[in-house]
Amino acid sequence: MLSGARIMISEYPNSKELEREIKELKNLIEELVQEDWNLKKQLEERLKDLEEALIDEKYGIKATMLLGKYRHNNGYDSEVLLYVNNIEDCTGKDPVKTMYLMGQVLLHEYFHSFYYHVGVGSRDRINCVEEPMAEYGSLVVLDSVVSSGLPISTEASKTLAYTYNKVKRKQKCKGYIAAYGFGAYLYDNHRKDYRELIAEYANVSRLLDAHGRRTLEYKYMVYPSYPDSHFEKFTYDKLRCLLATGIKSAKGIKTLTKKVSKVAPVITHTSATGGSKGSIAEKKLCQFALEVFRFLKNKGLLGYLESFVTKKRNPELRTLTAPGVFKLVGILNDGSRISRSSDWFMSETFNIGSDTYYLSTQWSEVNTNTHLHFDDLKNMIGHIYPKKFDIRKKDDMFIMIEL
Ligand SMILES: [Zn+2]
């Protein structure tokens, strides 16, 4: 990077999204019952902040320096970036402090990567939940090193002290930065049970509904400003409540879905509005998988799959494999099994070369023994057609885009 170059990031979403948030928060406040008077007051403060931000945002003045970034691209590459110039600016170019902060920022980004890879389902990360969890993760790792008693623990202790204060100070900031500050609260109060909390979040991070009631109740406690100290525990309870919803979804609670009209260029599915969303119903995942295959067939691209089809010992089952990238068992099968359990496979056939294949109907966003993981389909498409297609999930909608 050029010396003096600065990467800035907006502390708020764009004005359109901000307007949507204001509406969302107004609705949330309206829905509160009389007894929630204190909570209402807290949320009204957030509303005021958002409305002020909307005015500022239009002039583009609310921005902060980006210290690091984790980026995951279409399932075939990912990277962690550290913005060294920005980090130096934060530490007043003190080389020792720069080293401390770089270490913590790196850990923070690794936690994004960890949450990305461990979770089930598709990824739709929610800043106000993910960022404090990344800060928290970085602090508890440093804390573990400190208590190791090894020679490195002295340095780790200084790193922890320095960076903890940096995180803690974010509680005084506005915008997304305030939510980061909640990482310091989690560290202060949940240093001992971090394994459970981190595992819980990692487990459900991909299933959270960005606009679900429980997400909003937590989100607007830590964003765009930090809650009063006696509301911190309340905020923590909201977080646990949110994570518990995700776990329910992970266990396979079905949600109402309906198909909407196709959006160019390929495929969209969305759930019905309202109700508790979390994971997309299996039926819709199957439908999406089928449409992906139909699309490839119509484009004459199905043949590219051929080199990924191998015969297993059981000749009935064919396996799609690409070593180290993905493994799909039974995604396509020959017809011999159809007679036994026709519901397991689509009735529509796909011909690749001289063989006939049936697409599995067993798709899931969570890990099960019998189902194919939906991410595997996405990874497969990303691997076979690198930089040609991207499958994205936004809210409860899948879109396959021709790049
Ligand atoms: Zn982050």
Task: Encode pLDDT of 345-363 as tens digits.
Answer: 676 777 777 766 767 777 7
| Domain identity same for 189 and 278 | no
CA of 167 to the centre of ligand 1 (A): 12
Ramachandran area for residue 300 (φ above 0: left; ψ -120 to 50: alpha; else beta): left
| Domain identity same for 341 and 219 | no
| Domain identity same for 147 and 273 | no
CA of 113 to the centre of ligand 1 (A): 10
Q: What is the mean pLDDT of residues 216-223?
A: 96
Asked if pLDDT for residue 265 goes beyond 80, the answer is no
CA of 131 to the centre of ligand 1 (A): 5
CA of 70 to the centre of ligand 1 (A): 7
Asked if pLDDT for residue 113 goes beyond 70, the answer is yes
- In angstroms, the CA 401 to CA 348 distance is 23
* Cβ-based neighbours of 401, under 8 Å, separated by 6 or more: 265, 266, 389, 390, 391, 392
Which of 254, 289, 318 is the endpoint of a domain? 254
The pLDDT, as a whole number, for residue 331 is: 52
Higher-pLDDT residue of 265, 356:
356
| Domain identity same for 161 and 76 | yes
Asked if pLDDT for residue 260 goes beyond 50, the answer is no
Q: SS3 of 354, please?
A: coil
Give the count of alpha carbons within 13 A of 256, CB side only. Answer: 5
The pLDDT, as a whole number, for residue 239 is: 95
> How many domains does the chain contain in total?
2
Q: Where are the alpha helices (DSSP H) in 205-357?
A: 213-222, 232-250, 282-298
| Domain identity same for 186 and 246 | yes
Q: What is the mean pLDDT of residues 306-330?
A: 49
CA of 109 to the centre of ligand 1 (A): 6
| Domain identity same for 249 and 294 | no
The pLDDT, as a whole number, for residue 56 is: 80
| Domain identity same for 310 and 247 | no
User: What pLDDT digit, counting tens, does each position of 157-180 carry?
Assistant: 999 999 999 999 999 999 999 999
On whether residue 312 sits in a domain, the answer given is yes
On whether residue 260 sits in a domain, the answer given is no
pLDDT band at residue 301 using 50, 70 and 90 as cut-offs:
confident
Tell me the pTM: 0.63
CA of 202 to the centre of ligand 1 (A): 15
Which domain range does residue 385 map to? 266-402
Which of 208, 229, 254 is the endpoint of a domain? 254
pLDDT band at residue 336 using 50, 70 and 90 as cut-offs:
very low
On whether residue 259 sits in a domain, the answer given is no
Rounded to 5 degrees, φ, ψ at 348 are -70, 135
On whether residue 282 sits in a domain, the answer given is yes
226 DSSP 8-state letter: P
CA of 55 to the centre of ligand 1 (A): 26
| Domain identity same for 288 and 214 | no
On whether residue 140 sits in a domain, the answer given is yes
Q: SS3 of 366, please?
A: coil
| Domain identity same for 245 and 275 | no
Q: What percent of the chain has pLDDT over 90?
A: 39
Rounded to 5 degrees, φ, ψ at 73 are -115, 110
On whether residue 261 sits in a domain, the answer given is no
| Domain identity same for 104 and 243 | yes
CA of 7 to the centre of ligand 1 (A): 14
User: What pLDDT digit, counting tens, does each position of 19-55 carry?
Assistant: 999 999 999 999 887 768 889 999 999 999 999 998 8
User: What pLDDT digit, counting tens, does each position of 363-398 carry?
Assistant: 777 776 666 777 777 777 777 777 777 787 766 667
- In angstroms, the CA 284 to CA 394 distance is 15
In the block, residue with structure tokens 């406690």: 221
Higher-pLDDT residue of 290, 394:
290
What letter represents residue 134's amino acid? A
On whether residue 91 sits in a domain, the answer given is yes
Which of 203, 227, 254 is the endpoint of a domain? 254
Q: What is the mean pLDDT of residues 246-257?
A: 41
CA–CA distances in Å: residue 363 to residues 43, 49, 111, 367, 371: 40, 43, 28, 10, 5
CA of 261 to the centre of ligand 1 (A): 35
| Domain identity same for 166 and 51 | yes
Residue 178's CB is within 10 A of a number of other CB atoms, namely 25
On whether residue 81 sits in a domain, the answer given is yes
pLDDT band at residue 249 using 50, 70 and 90 as cut-offs:
very low
| Average pLDDT value over all residues in the chain | 77
The residues that bridge with 310 in the sheet, in sequence order, are 319
CA of 134 to the centre of ligand 1 (A): 6
| Domain identity same for 232 and 304 | no
Least confident residue range of 212-216, 252-256, 336-340, 349-353: 252-256
